[in-house]
């Protein structure tokens, strides 16, 4: 998560950051009224009042299934643009990666959308050239 977001969250009095907690239950009939939180370290649970919830899923790329298929960097992000290839092409010619999954991505929604449309164009060009 970007440092400026961390600073903003930590400085907001009505926001509680609970690292190491897992939401294991949601309370309320037609809208959220509370949460059951479980501490992942000791398994204890607590119920808190809540009318909103933001879940940050982290920046782990979840690319274990691609190991030994395409080149990944040491953090598991897909390496693109090697050996004169297009900047979105993976270690397999004609296979592209775009957005947050790509090593070197700036991790912003607008950038991911632009990279995705560019990857689609590159794939279309490759398919029509063969």
Which residue is listed with tokens 């949601």? 26
Q: Between these two residues, 38 and 6, which has the higher pLDDT value?
A: 38
The predicted structure's pLDDT at residue 71: 95
What lies within 8 Å, CB to CB, of 70 at 6+ separation is 78, 79, 90, 91, 92, 95, 97
Q: Are strands 34-39 and 21-27 parallel, antiparallel or unpaired?
A: antiparallel
Write out pLDDT tens, residues 57-81.
667 888 999 988 999 999 999 999 9
| pLDDT score recorded for residue 125 | 92
pLDDT in tens, 37-47: 999 999 999 99
Left, alpha or beta for 90 (phi > 0: left; psi -120 to 50: alpha)?
beta
Return the higher-pLDDT residue of 6 and 43. 43
Output the six-digit token pair for 103: 């090593």
Out of 3.30.470.10, 3.60.21.10, 3.50.50.60, 3.40.50.1970, select the CATH number for domain 64-129.
Answer: 3.50.50.60
In percent, how much of the chain has pLDDT > 90?
A: 58
Residue 91 has pLDDT above 70, yes or no: yes
Domain ranges for the chain = 3-49, 64-129
Nearest to 95 by CA among 114, 122, 117: 122
pLDDT of residue 3: 82
Mean pLDDT computed over every residue of the chain: 89
Q: Is the pLDDT of residue 130 over 80?
A: no
| Continuous H helices in 1-130 | 3-10, 109-129
């Amino acid at each position: 998560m970007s440092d400026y977001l961390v600073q903003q969250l930590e400085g907001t009095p009505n926001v509680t950051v609970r690292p190491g907690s897992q939401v294991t239950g949601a309370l309320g009939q037609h809208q959220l009224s509370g949460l059951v939180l479980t501490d992942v370290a000791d398994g204890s649970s607590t119920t808190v009042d809540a009318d909103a919830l933001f879940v940050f899923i982290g920046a782990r790329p979840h690319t274990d299934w691609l190991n030994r298929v395409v080149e990944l960097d040491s953090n598991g992000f897909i390496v693109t643009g090697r050996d004169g290839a297009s900047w979105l092409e993976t270690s397999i010619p004609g296979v592209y990666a775009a957005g947050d999954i790509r090593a070197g991505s700036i991790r912003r929604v607008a950038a991911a959308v632009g990279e995705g449309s560019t990857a689609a164009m590159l794939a279309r060009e490759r398919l029509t050239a063969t």
